[in-house]
Chains A and B, each alone.
Chain A
Amino acid sequence: MPIQTAHSPSSLGSLVERLNQGRPELQQLAYVGQTQFGPKLRIERFRMGNGLSILLVEEHAAPTVAYHTWFKVGSRNERPGKTGIAHLFEHLMFNETEGLAAGEFDRQLEELGAESNASTWLDWTHYDIAIPSAGFERVVELEAERMNHLVLRTPQVESEKEVVMNERRYRVEDDVEGALSELLWSTAFELHPYRWPTIGWMSDIESFDVDDCNTFYRTFYAPNNATLVVVGDVVAERALRKLQDAYGGYTPAPIPDPPSVREPEQRGEKRLEVTKLTPTWKLNIGYHSPALHHADHLPLSVLSEVLFGGRSSRLLKTLVRDLELASDVRASLSPLADPGLFEIFVSAREGVTAERLLEVVDAELDRVLAEPITDDELLRATARIELSLLQGLTNNEGKASTIGFYEVVLGNPIAGFERLAALSSLRPDDLTVVARRYLTRASRTVILVRPQTPSEPGPEDDDEDDGDEPITTPRLMGVRA
């Protein structure tokens, strides 16, 4: 039987006062307030004297805890020549610390029965640990240790660089879709750091040394650049006391602002044709799209569902079912702090060219402008989005990931529910408006992939491994397969 602990703001205020007694300023907690998270849970927000943000949800349905640490640093904080350092560093965070020999961090987590993972993307780095609740306090100690006491040595850095280069081969070099996405983003963006891949260019990864890694660590890994999200079978008082003990000794650091780069408006279609070892033609299109905080993002995400979400969506129905031109059709709208891409990927059936796919995609997108979305299409799209959000919240890990993501990108941990609530006020015309605004040919980049059969030699100027024209992949990079 689930037990919900109801804290009133006044009781938590008193709790914080009690916890702060006799502690130095850096360890002092401030109770910021509580927010309803869905129908049954509440997020309690605290801030430590050193700037560390803490979001806590008591949820006792299962004897487990999700302990997530988010840093506001991703590949957008890098610079040319040093691309991929945020992701490489995420790997290195599982290495030696002042108090733990190499390998000991993972070993101790596994002894507790914990599952750990990490991911880096354009705007953030995320470390997540799922633990049986009995191991909570030890996990706090381990996470706090690596936030401030990581030890970086040449052998570990060199070995991890090899791992990351192998990850790159896996995700990009030998993966048609990964290579395409990289090419799409690096072509679509000219100035913004989103143009380079989160995993980094191979030559940059090869060149990193211990100094690069130490500089990155000391610049971005500080309590005032981190948010802890704790969801699960913990009791607030005990959890907060432990967090004060573990993190309270750390001092804040001056965190550089992320580069403020405004991508110039694209005024003409960019189109490339490349050849890849793949059995059928592929088509990848990227339209410049609004940032997650922008009012247009939600209607555009619904439009994406209308067009590409599920088998009854317009493009899947037309391309896969009615005309039988494609075997796979997908789209994604990037949920980023700055404007990103609305990305479409289509894999053709044998004998169908990417030009033909593009004709059909264009005709369908033109139809959106000419014929309004129906109420039924809108209903189907919003129902799918609602299901998707709720499915992501079935366990503590999902809740913590949702809370942390919206907190780090939007500063609002309940934005997922707010977006859900806003769906009911959308009208079909709202979708037409954003289609007209964003799905314009002048603002898009189109990559056509010609299949190369095994017996055919590839062109000499193949796009892969071309140092002058690097490829980029701003997709989510997980550290552990």
Chain B
Amino acid sequence: MSVKTLDAIIEGRRSQPQQLIEVLQDVQDTWGYVPQESMITISRELGVPLIEVYRVASFYKAFSLVPRGEHVITVCMGTACHVRGAAPIVEQVAAMLDVEPGGTTGDGLFTLESVNCLGACALGPVVVLDGVYYDHMTPRKLSRLIESIRKSGNEDTRDA
């Protein structure tokens, strides 16, 4: 973890406890998780007790305290998606990748997460894979997408 980059994130926010969440978000965006050392630095520089930094990082879903996989699969579990069958999608992928929702595969390739509604409800079930939104998802479509990533290391086209 680059000390310089963390410095840049904290710059302009020293001794401003109210900036804690924004700082953690920048850290999460940069490294894909919030490293322990970064929390110690943030505590010192922003003037927030260490236990509070840890508390905030553990409270909000946006932050991960452990490194995540190369490809993040986010399945929307909102009501509309649920009614259209989101649960089987999560179960299917969890079984396929042998991870619990929230977990990362042993090879570090995939992280499976669920989110409580992305706001694209009319077109559910919705799955986001590496920032790209897919609508009207089914377990079969998602399996195929994951397979194609495994094989080529890239994503299949949107017509999967």
> Is the A/B pair a real complex?
no
